[in-house]
Structure 1
Amino acid sequence: MKQTTIFIIDDDLVSQFATRYCIEQYDKEFNIVACGSAEEGLRVCANLLDEKEELPDIILLDLVMGDMNGWAFIENLELLTGDRKKPEIYVLSAFVNSKDRAIAKQHSLISGYFDKPLTKSSLNKIFSPKAAR
């Protein structure tokens, strides 16, 4: 069975570490790739597409980052991938922003929105059968 690939895109190293640790404590094996910026995340995705490799299954995305924020990342990923299968994107945010939550709920590429730090309960929601969400 193919291992699930998860990208963590977050410019905060402590958050990156905490998210990775939470995933590693989960009772499944994952291929985890951490990117320190939205630009880096896009570069890695572009390289995968160039190499005819699969994109990650899941992206855990911070919205508030330096030069390019999470929303810009999503727009660019949409342009980059065209009609190819897109990863499930889950927003991880340290800031409870009702406007961002409302936009995320309506956005077709966003599968969920979680507060930082990521918890086992959040992972259960991500990995539960789709119908349960």
Structure 2
Amino acid sequence: MQTTIFIIDDDLVSQFATRYCIEQYDGDFNIVACGSAEEGLKLCANLLAEKEPLPDIIFLDLVMGDMNGWAFIDNLELISEGHKQPDIYVLSAFVNSKDRAIAKEHSLIAGYFDKPLTKASLEKIFAAKTTR
């Protein structure tokens, strides 16, 4: 079964690196890259409007332009109440203990990884998915 993955990051190099890492992993993936949190939220809203499922996994940068990753999560919660939620993994280039602590306690965030995404990180993610 195909796994749909959204990469939400305003940095093209990070998007490319994340996509490349996922493509090198053994799996059937539909990868959608979004250049902003607003774009990612709009795509999620469109899926819900069309009665389509949200992505299985979202790789989310926290530090972006107008809408940051935290605002994306808050807005996603508002529009998707009552629907199956995606597993959100924060990808950050900044080691921020406050963000890590918030992420660890947040019900929608399944994990927090430093950029760039690695094969070892993907192995942890997909091992956790199979045990749920």
| TM bucket, shorter chain | over 0.9
Corresponding residue number in structure 2 for 1:127: 126
How far off is 1:83 after superposition? 1.4
Q: Deviations for 1:29-68, whole angstroms, at most 9, x for unmatched residues?
A: 2000000000000000000001111110000000000000
Aligned length: 132
CA RMSD of aligned residues (A): 1.4
| Superposition map of 1:12-27 within 5 A | 12-27=11-26
Unaligned runs of 5+ in 2: none
Corresponding residue number in structure 1 for 2:70: 71
Q: Which runs of 4+ in 1 moved over 3 A?
A: 129-133
Q: Deviations for 1:73-121, whole angstroms, at most 9, x for unmatched residues?
A: 0000000001111100000000000000000000000000000000000
TM-score norm. by structure 1 comes to 0.96
Corresponding residue number in structure 2 for 1:82: 81
How far off is 1:131 after superposition? 7.8
| Superposition map of 1:93-112 within 5 A | 93-112=92-111
Unaligned runs of 5+ in 1: none
Corresponding residue number in structure 1 for 2:53: 54
**CA–CA separation in structure 1 for the residues paired with 2:20 and 2:85:** 25
Indicate how the Cα distance of structure 1 residues 51 and 131 shifts in structure 2: closer, same or farther if over 3 A, else same. Answer: closer
TM-score norm. by structure 2 comes to 0.97
